[in-house]
Amino acid sequence: AAKTVQRKGKGTQDFGANYKIVPVSNEAVLNKLTCFEVDGSKDALMDIQHSLPDINSFKDLGLTEWRGIKCQVYQIIDQEGDKKSTYTYYVNAETQHPVHYEMFGYDTLIGSHFDKYTIDYYNYDENPIDSSLFHITDDMQCVGFPDSENEHTSPRVLFNPMSEYINRHGEDDFESSFENFKEQHERKYKDEHEHRRRLKIFRHNNRYVNTRNRAGLTYTMKLNKFADRSDDELRVLRGRR
């Protein structure tokens, strides 16, 4: 399975780096562990990725029960035009350990949710972490990541998947990737309603491909020109109803 490592930048000339370690197979090797690297820059300093949301700006909603666990609930709502994104975080009221985090995005223009994801926390451990775990790349020669393999997914998401869900800025990456997709395949939509509907389909297809590719399977997947098409439309193209 794939592993990702983030090294925080120190400033000046050290801007940090993100690493992705995956098994690679070709004509010469089979499942050879290979390290890919993306360096930070002055304008994009790399940082470590937290697995818990920053709730400083969240509102305390009090106590509730989540799957039989008494939890303290925190929530924040981001409103941008027609899009409303609600982030809710559940913490075990007794142990103060994280239990559940969810995002629900609703778009009034298309009359449906445009995004939804959940994170469940299990076996939360506050003990110190063995420092040797952070030296995973020390004995590896890391190389640049081939851009052509994932032209519709940002390097930040490829090298740090958790950032899409925790940092509350994944939408910017998807919109940028979608614009690249539209330009490459010469997509023109009739109005904003269709544009957002196609973006919703593209987002879910993009996530599905990235999830499968992180699973360490014997094959890899890649988005094609139908990444903005619904299941019903694809069935029609295949001659089915």
Kindly report, residue by residue over 193-235, the tens digit of the pLDDT.
899 889 889 988 988 888 787 776 778 888 899 999 988 888 8
Query: Any idea what the Cα angle at residue 104 is, between residues 167 and 159, rounded to 5°?
Result: 35
Q: Tokens at residue 202, please? A: 């593209």
pLDDT value at position 90? 98
- Residue 85 scores a pLDDT above 50: yes
- Residue 151 scores a pLDDT above 60: no
Give which of 139, 158, 144, 81 is closest to 114, Cα–Cα: 81
Average pLDDT, the chain: 84
Rounded distance, CA 193 to CA 11, Å? 43
**Residue 155: which pLDDT band, with cuts at 50, 70 and 90?**
low
Sole residue written with tokens 């958790």? 162
Share of the chain above pLDDT 70, in %: 89
pLDDT value at position 66? 95
The alpha carbon of 214 is separated from its chain's Cα centroid by a whole number of angstroms, namely 11
Higher pLDDT among residues 74 and 215, named by residue: 74
- Residue 96 scores a pLDDT above 90: yes
**Per-residue pLDDT tens digits for 163-200:** 777 765 555 667 888 888 999 999 999 998 899 889 88
pLDDT value at position 182? 92
Rounded distance, CA 160 to CA 1, Å? 14
Higher pLDDT among residues 102 and 203, named by residue: 102
pLDDT value at position 60? 98
Sole residue written with tokens 């740090």? 160
**Per-residue pLDDT tens digits for 28-73:** 888 888 899 988 888 778 888 888 999 999 999 999 999 999 999 9
**Residue 148: which pLDDT band, with cuts at 50, 70 and 90?**
very low
Q: How far is CA 3 from CA 6, 28, 32, 207, 214, in A?
A: 10, 22, 14, 17, 9
Sole residue written with tokens 């305390």? 60
Positive or negative CA dihedral for 93, 96, 97, 101? positive
Query: Any idea what the Cα angle at residue 90 is, between residues 89 and 93, rounded to 5°?
Result: 140
- Residue 111 scores a pLDDT above 80: no
- Residue 150 scores a pLDDT above 70: no
CA contacts within 13 A on the Cβ side of 166:
15
Q: What mean pLDDT comes out for the span 119-136?
A: 87
